[in-house]
Structure 1
Amino acid sequence: MTPLTGAPAAARLRIADEVSLPELTLRGLLLGALITVLFTASNVYLGLKVGLTFSSSIPAAVISMAVLRLAGGANILENNMVQTQASAAGTLSSIIFILPGLVMTGHWVGFPFWQTASVCAIGGILGVLYSIPLRRALVVQSPLAYPEGVAAAEILRVGSASPTPDPAAAPGPPAPGLADIVAGGVTGAAFSLIASGFKLFGEGLTWWFAAGGAVFRLGTGFSLALVGAGYLVGIVAGLAMLLGVVLAWGVAVPVLTATTPMPPEATLAGFATRLWSTQVRFIGAGVIGIGAVWTLLVLLRPVAEGMRASFAALRTSRSSGADAIPRTERDMPIHLVGGLSLLLIAPMALIFHRFLAASGPALPAGLHASLVAGAVLFAFAFGFLIAAACGYMAGLVGSSASPISGIGIVAVTLVSLLLLVLPGSGELLASQEGSGLAIALALFTTSVIVAVASISNDNLQDLKTGWLVGATPWRQQVALMVGCVAGALVIPPILDLLYGAYGFAGTLPRAGMDPAQALAAPQATLMSAIAVGIFTHRIDWSMILLGIGIGLVVIGLDALLARRGGLARLPVLAVGIGIYLPPTISVTIVIGAVLGWLIARALQRRAAAAGTDAAPALEHAQRRGVLLASGLIVGESLVGVLLAAIIGASGNQTPLALVGPGFEPAAGWLGLAGFLLVCAAFAGRVLATR
């Protein structure tokens, strides 16, 4: 997404420092909690299915404006607090990039509620606290774009006719855009119910063919949530992902299938898929890993400069006295930030202690204490560095495009290596049971880092929105922490529900389940494989090193494209994701990105033919497209969660199916027809003048 810059001047309101309006209200907190359940469930499902989550700030802002307007009206700052809380909780669901690994490796058989909720809440609150000292430097004094933050501010402005509601006025009509979210949600839900529930539509089409011993695959999925995700990602990342698909299925898999003997009993699809999952995906892991490291290296200097400027501003503010600080500059006091951060050491240490003691071999007291201390110190120290890096990256490329999963890959590698060199680790790794515990501890520690990264990534985006509309920072920071706690309470039962209904790739909770329906959980699968490979010395470094080499080439090409200027770029992380994800996922995302590009081109041609400025039409279409795409994601995701509950209750993998397996060929073509019709309708609604 790009910043919305063409809003009318009348809509560009910012509440002045001397004006005090209700912000952190009880009704706002309750509404934020309800929206939290909605978007956290959606993001958990989407993240487990395709390895992507979406920014919930804009749809949360629209829902808040609509509900509070019907309830008697609300000012722009109260609406901002609701979207702040809801977006924090939705973003915290990124922890599913790592936590399912504990089930995949056999350490957990489900998701223990208090351990899961506690690690989510503590990591999220740390993410908020760590990013507070960075607000002035990275939000107020920085030229960083913060695309989602700016877009959310524009949505709030457009939906706020006046800064102060009239208590005597009758409730007004819903805020602009709610109809688009509802339309997208109903469409996404209906299509998903017909396809995944009733089985009348197929969920994708795939064609396999061989040429000279090389196996090729063409196909796409029909997920409308992925179309929405692709629309939000944009054409640059979409085409980079398509390059990854071509490298995987147009080069790597054909070469491997041509040079590897095919077992007599194997099918083309099974043979090619096995080589992709056991070898080619590690090429993608290498590309993603080097992309994350490169991003962090590039950001080291600006992040360090931002931190120095921020602490200097804090010292100046404290020396001038609290009353001299304008309302819109009042952060949570730095001594309170430091005190709360230190206080979290005790519960985190307790969580790690209980995690080690709950299962696995009995450890000597010294080794047990050493592992707990090492994990806690790594989480606190590395978490702060990651918070700074993610805050900067969110401003640079936006929350949706920030490489949280890449940071998780770096973190799990570092913490695994740290555990290998800790005093007494040799004794732990001497047995298979001890190695399993070390793998689980590495994954559990990384989950804290991922929570810190995801929340700091979202926090500064929300604070940018608040700065643009005139919110009070410390109240937003409180709302962010409330959102973290609310999201932490929602995530464990949803994870349990989805795992029990669908299972994860390679890990099914019950016999007789359909592996094709399992949730891919791609990042968790990858991070688990890295941790297992490091501790067992069986990681396939050749493919990972090949991926690193490809990643370096892509980084070089992207630098050349950047030097030439223009929109043509080649983001390395998107290329890696295209290699790593199955084409039924990645190609569908590309379709959504191309659809957005075609819509933009059509608007530009229409404006050129009329001899008018294209900016207002593009802005209107962008806003409508974002809301429709968000609705598609939410609608399909909620149906996925609902179906999971029905599957779990019935014990039947297809409880709503109206047809049998013999209908699959016809369902595939019906699904394609329905998919194309919805894409055409999406474009028509976005291009509509009203």
Structure 2
Amino acid sequence: MRAEALPQLTARAVILAIVLAVILAAANTYLGLFAGMTIASAIPAAVVSMAVLRALGGGTILENNIVQTGASAGSSIASGVIFTIPALIILGYWTEFKYSWVLAIAGLGGLLGVLFSVPLRRSLIVDQGLAFPEGKAAAEVLKTGENPAQGVKILAGAALLGGFMKLAAASGLRLISDTAAGAVWLGKGIAYAGTNLSPALLGVGYIVGLNIGIVVLAGGVIGWNIAIPLYSMFAESNPDLLAAITGACGAIGTGDAECAAGVIWSREVRYLGVGAMLVGGVWTLISLRKSLFSGIRTGLAVARAGANANIAHTERDLPMKAILIGLVLFTLPLLALYQAIVGNWGVSVPMTIIMIVAGFLFVSVSAYMAGLVGSSNNPVSGITIATILFSAGVLVVLLGPDAEIGPVAAIMIGAVVCCAACIGGDNLQDLKCGYIVGATPWKQQVMLAIGAISSALVMAPVLNLLAQAYGIGVPTESHPNPLLAPQANLMASVARGMFGGDLPWNTIGIGAAIGAAIIALDSWLKARGSSFRVPVLACAIGIYLPIELMVPIFLGGLLAHFVERRAHVGNDEEARDKVHRMGMLFAAGLITGEALMGIFIAIPIVVAESADVLALPPSMQLGKWLGLVMLAVVAWLLYRSATKARPEH
């Protein structure tokens, strides 16, 4: 049967894609708020699709491709939302996530991302032939199609492990701790070390690899083992910082060292990460400018020529006329939303124009970066920071530097652009997969739009559930250890700082200098042809987040390195691919299981209005040592599950 005649956009494929998109959106929402990272979900979605459709009587490779296309929209929409929209809670503009507004921002932003990315397909996938690693990996999974039941078994087993550890941790049974960390005074300096006990972070590290794991841990070392000791030793020269430390933690040198490290990180060090991210976002645009504009011009030219009905089905994108109509239809509701916020057409119209221009520009950047480093490493947060900075600069002129609504308006622009950029990068990954397996592009583009809307429908309820159970971004008396929402906190800080807020600009400037030094180092490594690279935004997120989150990510990357070394013994390429696939599935299962359990745990907490509702008696709470043992067992099982897929020679 010719590929064109194979079923693709079937009812069962669409329904399965929607179900998986919703599940993956919820899971990535929790993971992103917790750790500041989300993962591409095409491979686990492809495996589940093959198993489910086989159980229903068999599915074609193109049906399975449609399922993974729609399902992967869940992680993309989750990324776009959690990077920005919680900032409206942090800014105090909302007290809860408003359903209709979240749906409009996420859904319309996602649809714009699909439309903006259509003209880029031929340039980036066909002409330039960018790698799009997750797309290629998903295509290999679909092409082999061997024993999907085994893949589902690994995925489900790992999910149970991840879910059990989350249930046993501090937000559930409290059998184990969330972290194993500690700090001591060295004179007036602080020595801090520790690790989070999350299997999801171990899985994230396995997926992103050792290079990224080393870089994010290096960022954590810069922040926690270099900057914090320096700020502590010279705290007496900063009266505000000294007062904050002594008031909360006791005297320098004799008080609670771990508490003091947390205060210094919160008040000063995380803004080093802000500065590094700002520089990284600008550098991303500068470094891609030639390829970006070339790709846009080529893509638009091909899209205009797409009216030729004789082109192969594998080259048929959504027609340009439909794209232009869609842009108008999806933009008008956003214009109305912006007008409802600022109440001034002279401001809401420029906001909409900025959103459209920045959306198209940054979807192109996101798509290009996804082609180079993959969706999981795509620096969308840097793109969004650049959008918010530019938007805030224009709004300062239009509204005045003291406008209270200014930061909110800037976040609203950034939120739509962020959702569009996330979907844009994901769209090109899926289209790369489709290009390899012989799919019809316009059918994938329609499925991605359906997946984006389906995911957007559940975002507000999931966010409200997590906010009520754990708190988001800002510690309160009822939620002293909230989900950090690092990117949203960053966006809120930047937007507020542009409108007269109290940002430590000196610290941000130092962070920008650190970012510039990292860029220089990476450029030197590139010139030498080194396989090891130092992406500035990965290092910046390491500086910005607590180091205990970076340690398991590094350990997961190290584990992936050992697995790859074991897999490359011998010349059996098929066996190596299987090892890689099984390890990725196990890692994805850990992430999905922990994230979904985090959502399930939130339900009784919210219903009972008590964070202790599931907690065991104190005598049964065994703390960090059992947690370390359990994490070590999970790591061994991940290694074993991957390496046993390689036949012994």
**Normalization by structure 2: what TM-score?**
0.94
**1:241-256 equivalences in 2 (<5 Å):** 241-256=216-231
Match of 2:436 among 446, 455, 468: 468
Match for residue 633 of structure 2? Answer: 677
Give the conservation status (yes or no) of the 8 Å contact 1:36–1:89: yes
What is the distance in 1 between the residues matched to 2:339 and 2:452? 23
Alpha-carbon shift at residue 317 of structure 1 (Å): 4.0
Q: For structure 1, which runs of at least 5 residues remain unmatched after alignment?
A: 1-14, 161-172, 357-362
Give the conservation status (yes or no) of the 8 Å contact 1:200–1:659: no
Match for residue 619 of structure 1? Answer: 577
What is the distance in 1 between the residues matched to 2:217 and 2:623? 26
Query: Which deviations, in whole Å up to 9, do the C-alpha atoms of 1:478-532 show, x marking residues without a partner?
Result: 1011011101101111001100111013254xxx52412x100000001101111
Match for residue 185 of structure 1? Answer: 159
Q: Secondary structure at the match of 2:94?
A: coil
Query: Which deviations, in whole Å up to 9, do the C-alpha atoms of 1:38-80 show, x marking residues without a partner?
Result: 1011000000001100001111111111111101111011111
What is the distance in 2 between the residues matched to 1:89 and 1:190? 23
Aligned length: 630
Q: What letter is aligned with 2:519? A: I
Q: Secondary structure at the match of 2:5?
A: coil
Alpha-carbon shift at residue 176 of structure 1 (Å): 4.6
Match of 1:54 among 39, 42, 45: 39
Structure 1 residues 443 and 311 mapped into 2: Cα distance closer, same or farther (>3 Å)?
closer
Q: Secondary structure at the match of 1:207?
A: strand
Match for residue 616 of structure 2? Answer: 658
What is the distance in 1 between the residues matched to 2:567 and 2:431? 32
1:449 correspondence with 2:417: yes
Match for residue 540 of structure 1? Answer: 504
- Deviation larger for 410-419 or 346-355: 346-355
Match for residue 409 of structure 1? Answer: 385
Match for residue 525 of structure 2? Answer: 561
Match for residue 600 of structure 2? Answer: 642
Q: For structure 2, which runs of at least 5 residues remain unmatched after alignment?
A: 237-241, 250-255
1:76 correspondence with 2:61: yes
1:498 correspondence with 2:466: yes
Give the conservation status (yes or no) of the 8 Å contact 1:67–1:174: no
Structure 1 residues 264 and 415 mapped into 2: Cα distance closer, same or farther (>3 Å)?
closer
Match for residue 538 of structure 2? Answer: 574
**1:341-490 equivalences in 2 (<5 Å):** 341-356=327-342, 368-422=344-398, 425-426=399-400, 430=402, 435-490=403-458
Alpha-carbon shift at residue 684 of structure 1 (Å): 1.3
Q: Secondary structure at the match of 1:98?
A: coil
Give the conservation status (yes or no) of the 8 Å contact 2:306–2:319: no
Give the conservation status (yes or no) of the 8 Å contact 1:226–1:585: yes
Query: Which deviations, in whole Å up to 9, do the C-alpha atoms of 1:95-149 show, x marking residues without a partner?
Result: 2101001001110010110111011111000000001011111112222100000
Q: Percent identity, please.
A: 38
Alpha-carbon shift at residue 197 of structure 1 (Å): 1.5
What is the distance in 1 between the residues matched to 2:90 and 2:312? 51
Give the conservation status (yes or no) of the 8 Å contact 1:159–1:176: no
Match for residue 164 of structure 1? Answer: none
Match for residue 178 of structure 2? Answer: 203
Give the conservation status (yes or no) of the 8 Å contact 1:62–1:176: no
Alpha-carbon shift at residue 282 of structure 1 (Å): 0.7
1:552 correspondence with 2:516: yes
RMSD: 1.6
What is the distance in 1 between the residues matched to 2:270 and 2:572? 42
What is the distance in 1 between the residues matched to 2:20 and 2:296? 33
Match for residue 564 of structure 2? Answer: 600
Q: Secondary structure at the match of 1:216?
A: strand
Q: What letter is aligned with 2:478? A: M
Alpha-carbon shift at residue 620 of structure 1 (Å): 1.7
Match for residue 154 of structure 1? Answer: 140
What is the distance in 1 between the residues matched to 2:57 and 2:311? 33
What is the distance in 1 between the residues matched to 2:604 and 2:611? 9
**Normalization by structure 1: what TM-score?**
0.89
Match for residue 128 of structure 2? Answer: 142
Alpha-carbon shift at residue 617 of structure 1 (Å): 3.6
Alpha-carbon shift at residue 313 of structure 1 (Å): 2.5
Q: Secondary structure at the match of 1:658?
A: coil
Structure 1 residues 176 and 520 mapped into 2: Cα distance closer, same or farther (>3 Å)?
same
Q: Secondary structure at the match of 1:219?
A: strand
1:331 correspondence with 2:317: yes
- Deviation larger for 499-508 or 553-562: 499-508
What is the distance in 2 between the residues matched to 1:355 and 1:78? 42
Match of 1:212 among 151, 169, 187: 187
Q: Secondary structure at the match of 2:47?
A: helix
Q: What letter is aligned with 1:552? A: A
Q: Which stretches of structure 1, 4 residues or more, deviate above 3 A after TM superposition?
A: 173-176, 261-265, 314-318, 614-617
1:519 correspondence with 2:486: no
Match for residue 293 of structure 1? Answer: 282
Alpha-carbon shift at residue 204 of structure 1 (Å): 1.3
What is the distance in 2 between the residues matched to 1:190 and 1:238? 25
What is the distance in 2 between the residues matched to 1:119 and 1:537? 25
Match for residue 196 of structure 2? Answer: 221
What is the distance in 2 between the residues matched to 1:335 and 1:134? 16
Alpha-carbon shift at residue 175 of structure 1 (Å): 4.3
What is the distance in 1 between the residues matched to 2:460 and 2:302? 39
